[in-house]
Homo-oligomer: A and B are copies of this chain.
Amino acid sequence: MASEKGRIEAFSDGIFGIAATLLVFQIKIPPAGQNLAANLLKQWPSYFAFVLSFIFIGIMWVNHHRLFTLIRKADDGLLVINLLLLLGVTVVPFPTSVLAAHLATPNARTATFLYNGTYLVTAILFNILWHYILHRGLLDQDRNSDPIRNISRQYALGPILYLVCFTTTYYSVRLSLLLNTALAIFYTIPASRATYIRAR
């Protein structure tokens, strides 16, 4: 069973790693015969979308990784919910490419809805996975312990934050993406993460 857990982790790590690595391929190679520097700068939405999605996939990987250190054993349901979560992860390059291609066009709102919607669904799937684990007693510790309650609270925050980004898109694409950026920085700078992440 331990080795089963290990193989789920290995398979998941593979998918997180490949999805993260493939993100860069949405950045177009400017054609020869034109001013390269100008063309490179014009592609800023691609770089923005790439870095944002890389950080979000990185955060998901860290969370997934932490979650599995707390699991005692895997069962069929966990396998299936984990596959659905990974489906969400492998989708990420698509809304990232759509955002990159449409951010500087009148379609920016639709692209941003799609972008935030994808992460919203993934954050919900993370909570479903976590509550399934709690419910089935797959943890290696008491589910009423303080660290576990902390994680439950922190996981519940994910969908709320992405829902805020999602709904903000309706009023302002710029503000929504600013919130996304703030979220990425918040998770990435160790100091700001300390209180949020410590318990895990």
Q: Which residues of A contact B (CB under 8 A)?
A: 3-4, 7, 9-11, 13-27, 29-33, 35-37, 40, 50-51, 54-55, 58, 61-62, 65, 69, 76-77, 79-80, 83-84, 86-87, 90-91, 93-94, 97-98, 101-102, 105, 107, 110-111, 114, 188-190, 193-194, 197-198
Q: Give 13 pairs: A residue, B residue, CB < 8 Å, sorted on A.
A: A7-B13, A10-B13, A11-B13, A14-B16, A24-B94, A26-B29, A29-B94, A29-B97, A31-B101, A32-B107, A36-B107, A80-B190, A80-B193
Bound together, the chains give a CA A24 to CA B27 distance in angstroms of: 16
A19 touches B21 (CB 8 A): yes
Bound together, the chains give a CA A32 to CA B37 distance in angstroms of: 22
Where chain A touches its partner, the secondary structure class is helix
CB within 8 A of A197: which of B76, B91, B190, B197? B76
Bound together, the chains give a CA A93 to CA B116 distance in angstroms of: 26
A40 touches B110 (CB 8 A): yes
CB within 8 A of A188: which of B61, B80, B93? B80
**Nearest CB on B from A132, distance (A):** 9
Bound together, the chains give a CA A25 to CA B93 distance in angstroms of: 8
Bound together, the chains give a CA A111 to CA B36 distance in angstroms of: 8
In the complex with contacts A20-B86, A21-B18, A101-B37 CB distance below 8 A: no
